[in-house]
A and B are shown apart, each in its own frame.
Chain A
Amino acid sequence: MSMFRAKKLDLGCFVNIKTIRDHSKRKAFEAFETQRQALRYVIRNQTLPARTRAEAQLQLTQMHCYTRPTQIRNRCILGGKGRGVLRDFKMTRYNFRMQALDGNLPGVKKASW
C-alpha cells in the first residue's frame, strides 16, 4: 500500500510497480519485525494465560499484510521479473546468462568439458 511506500524513490535497480511494491514490503517487514516476534513469543508461551495468548493471536492476524515476511518475493534487479530468479545473483536466468557472457559477473565462466 502507498502508506508504506517511500516518498522519494530510493531504488537503484530496474523500477516498475512490482519492484517498488516488493521493496516497500521489505521495509515494512523490517519496521514491524520486532513487534511480530514479540506477539509470536506471547502466542507460543504456554505459561501465559490463555486469554492473553488469544488476544496476541488476534493482534498478529490483524497486522497489515505488508508486514508479513511471506509477502516478500525475490525479484530480478535487471528486469523486475518474479520467476526464475537466481538467488545468488538476484537476476533471472536469462539476464544472468547475458551478464555472464558479457563478463560482468566476476568469477562466473561458461562451463565446457
Chain B
Amino acid sequence: MSVPRARILDLMKVRCQVFSTTYNPEGIRTGNKILRQRLRGPALASYYPRKMSTVQDMIKEFAPYELVVDNEEEDDRLEHIVALKQRGKGAPKKKKAPASKQDQKAGKKR
C-alpha cells in the first residue's frame, strides 16, 4: 500500500512544527551547521601562559620606597662575567671605528 508524497510531506511539516525543527523537504544545504559551531578562538588563544610580574617589575615598584630587591639570577650572571674577564675569556669590547671601515676589514680577511 503506497502513500502519496503530499501526505508524507504534510506529516513532515507537522513533525517539524511539533519538534520545532526546520521544514526542509528537498534537503537544501543552508550552511546552518557553520552558524551552530562554537567559536574556538578564545580557547586557542589562551594556550600559552601570559606574562606575570618579573623581578624587574618588583625592583621598579619598590624603588620609590627605597627598598632593595635582590635579583639572584642577574647577580649570578654578573659574577660569572667577572670571572670570565679575570681569565681573559670575556666578550670582546665594541669597536669604535665607523661601520664602513669594519666591513672593509672583514672583507679582506676572507
Q: Which residues of A contact B (CB under 8 A)?
A: 9-13, 19, 22-23, 26-27, 29-31, 33-34, 37, 40-47, 69, 72, 74, 77, 90
Contacts and interface: CB of A to CB of B under 8 A. Distances in A.
B64 interface: no
Given A29-B45, A46-B30, A34 B50 contact: no
Contacts of A30: 41-42, 44-45
Question: Is chain B's interface secondary structure helix, strand, loop, or mixed overall?
Answer: loop
Contact of B44 (A9, A29, A37, A43): A29
B47 interface: yes
A42 B44 contact: no
27 contacts: A10-B51, A11-B48, A11-B51, A12-B50, A12-B51, A12-B52, A19-B48, A23-B47, A26-B47, A27-B45, A30-B44, A37-B34, A40-B34, A41-B34, A42-B31, A43-B31, A44-B29, A44-B30, A44-B31, A45-B29, A45-B30, A46-B29, A47-B28, A47-B30, A69-B44, A77-B48, A90-B47
Nearest to B44: A26
Given A29-B41, A33-B40, A45-B30, A74 B50 contact: no
Interface string B66-89: 000000000000000000000000
Interface in B20-76: 28-31, 33-35, 37, 39-42, 44-45, 47-52
Contacts of B39: 33-34, 37
A55 B30 CA distance: 17
A23 B48 contact: yes
A72 B44 contact: yes
A97 to B, nearest CB: 20
Given A33-B41, A46-B31, 4 more contacts: A12-B52, A37-B34, A74-B47, A90-B47
